[in-house]
Structure 1
Amino acid sequence: MTCKNCDTSLSAESDFCHICGAKVIRNRLTIKNLFEHFSETFLNYDNKLLQTFIMLFKKPEDVIGSYINGTRKKYVDVISYFAIAITVSGLYLFILNNFFPKTLDYSMFAAAGQEEFNKKSISFVQEYMSLLMMLYVPLYAVMARMTFIGIKKFNFTELLVVFLYLQAQMSIITAITSVLFSSVGINQGIVSVVSIPLMILYSAFCLKRLYNLNFRNIFLRTLLFLVILGITFFVIEIIMLGIMYSNGSLQELIEAQKAAK
């Protein structure tokens, strides 16, 4: 008998390949064993995906620190986990747009005359969600270097790993809660208002554990991070307005607001 994955010779009693670690499959594919495989992979408490998800809440320093320090088999690796988060985010947007479109109406949160701009902004975020998720990671890593100046525990690449995990975890949670709240008719604008401070607290909790800081230290550094975040997004908004001005879309928006009035 040979391994179907790497062609290594195996004994008839082997359950796993001693070279690549693949499980020996003896039975033909049926609905029953396909469901069993799905259950073992995604529903079993001991599987790596569920353990990674749970431990990123309980002991984020174990998941992230293990990966940074070279332990790569205990939890889902950072790239795979981020890819799963992107897939889940795309799926939840599909569900909201097709089954709960009314919950995506953010007009109640827009200032007078800003409804069209708000609608275009939401549409842009949804269209480029995956790209934005990837761009946020190095941006957060840079801001973290500025926030935790004087503490040289992580280099820039390691901070990328930290925020890949955090961004993935928060995206998965956002997807799950958004679908649940939308199913009972709660507007996504309300969900966002509530979830943003919770995400900040979760990030602070993870960074506190990773940097091994006391409450006072992480509180002050969180305030500094928020100041840097505010300045960063203000600069990004100025750049976006400049781009809109250069391509004429800003003038179109102004004309639409005048017509609305």
Structure 2
Amino acid sequence: MLPEKNVTFTPVTSCLNCGNPLTDKDFFCNICGAKKIEERFTPKRIVKEAGERVFNIDNTFLRTFKDLFVRPEKVIDGFLAGLRKRYFNAFSYFTIAITISGLQVFVLKKFYPEVVEQMGAIGGNPNAISQAIQDSTMEYQPLIMFATIPFLALMGFVAFLTLRKHNYTEHLIIQLYTYSHLSIVTTLIGLTVLIAGGDYLSFGLFTVLIYIGYNAYVYKRLYQLSIKGIILRTLFFLLLLLVLYVVISVAVVVLTLLIDPELFKEMIQQQQTV
């Protein structure tokens, strides 16, 4: 029993979520699983609930973060099989990745505007169009991250289609975990590089290799492939990604030409002066 000064003003005799009757010995509702809370709000309770709700201090997040390095198949296959308590939910993990990425964008814009300007340059020369694209990418980063995953899942689905293990929706879950994990890791490393005064642009290019390597590692463990098998399917994955990139690039150019011919001419002139 809680000390009298810590209990609520009225005893909890039924679940506040579903109305199921509760006894003094119940700590959770046996119908909906909601926790029975009789403790009054105190600073200690606020900190505790913030940890449980936001940071998940019960080590679920830390366990997920660690196991996505050492045993990613346990996290992903577990979630697909219905495991929900041991590891962080794929969608919640993606939300954390978006939040941390947003922190990086804020730090870049607030404290390192010269780096943002360099990112919007081509061949070391300032370029108004590329700078505008860079600014839009930062502004709509969460939306771009969310829109990227279906395309990556499609590439994974096609590349591993003959193995007949996961459907397209399950590949979405795989990419939610892998993309989110890489985003968290590379963002934290990137912030460290920024603060330490390192070459952030070179690190940004290196993250492409990190993505390719980690995805190959995850799929190898998920499908228990040989080194040769994962290399061949990774090359096929990259080929599909290249084809998709070309198709999207051509579509963007065509749309730009149709919607704003003057902007298209400006883009051509900018490229010729580089």
TM-score range (shorter-chain normalised) is: 0.7 to 0.9
Q: CA deviation at 1:149?
A: 4.0
* Structure 1 portions without partners, runs of 5+: none
Identity %: 33
Are the aligned partners of 2:120 and 2:134 in contact in 1 as well (CA < 8 Å)?
Answer: no
Q: CA deviation at 1:201?
A: 0.5
Q: 1:163 to 1:191 in 2, by over 3 A?
A: same
- Matches of 2:140 and 2:28, distance apart in 1: 42
The Cα offsets for residues 137-177 of structure 1, whole Å up to 9 and x where unpaired, read as 22112222332242111111111111122122122223322
Q: Which has the higher contact order (CA 8 A, sep 6+)?
A: 1
Secondary structure of the 1:105 match is helix
Query: TM-score, length-normalised on structure 2?
Result: 0.83
Say whether 1:121 aligns with 2:136: no
Say whether 1:190 aligns with 2:216: no
Q: CA deviation at 1:237?
A: 1.6
Please point out which of 221, 230, 236 is paired with 1:224: 236
- Matches of 1:107 and 1:77, distance apart in 2: 33
Say whether 1:85 aligns with 2:97: yes
Q: 1:253 to 1:112 in 2, by over 3 A?
A: farther
Q: CA deviation at 1:207?
A: 0.6
Query: TM-score, length-normalised on structure 1?
Result: 0.87
The Cα offsets for residues 119-154 of structure 1, whole Å up to 9 and x where unpaired, read as 122112112222222222221122223322421111
Are the aligned partners of 1:148 and 1:221 in contact in 2 as well (CA < 8 Å)?
Answer: yes
Are the aligned partners of 1:102 and 1:187 in contact in 2 as well (CA < 8 Å)?
Answer: no
Q: CA deviation at 1:69?
A: 2.1
Counterpart of 2:40, as a letter, is: R
Residue equivalent to 1:130: 142
Secondary structure of the 1:145 match is helix
Secondary structure of the 1:150 match is helix
Mapping of 1:23-34 within 5 angstroms?
23-34=35-46
* Structure 2 portions without partners, runs of 5+: 1-12
Larger Rg: 2
Residue equivalent to 1:251: 265
- Matches of 1:187 and 1:12, distance apart in 2: 60
Mapping of 1:69-80 within 5 angstroms?
69-80=81-92
Please point out which of 29, 32, 41 is paired with 1:20: 32
Q: CA deviation at 1:108?
A: 8.7
* Larger CA deviation: 211-220 vs 176-185: 176-185
Q: CA deviation at 1:189?
A: 1.7
- Matches of 1:50 and 1:251, distance apart in 2: 51
* Larger CA deviation: 150-159 vs 31-40: 31-40
Residue equivalent to 1:95: 107
Q: 1:9 to 1:144 in 2, by over 3 A?
A: same
The Cα offsets for residues 180-235 of structure 1, whole Å up to 9 and x where unpaired, read as 22222334322211221011111100010111101111012112222222222122
Please point out which of 12, 19, 23 is paired with 1:7: 19
CA-based RMSD: 2.5
- Matches of 1:55 and 1:102, distance apart in 2: 37
Q: 1:187 to 1:149 in 2, by over 3 A?
A: same
The Cα offsets for residues 3-58 of structure 1, whole Å up to 9 and x where unpaired, read as 333333222233333223233322222222222333455263x4322222221111
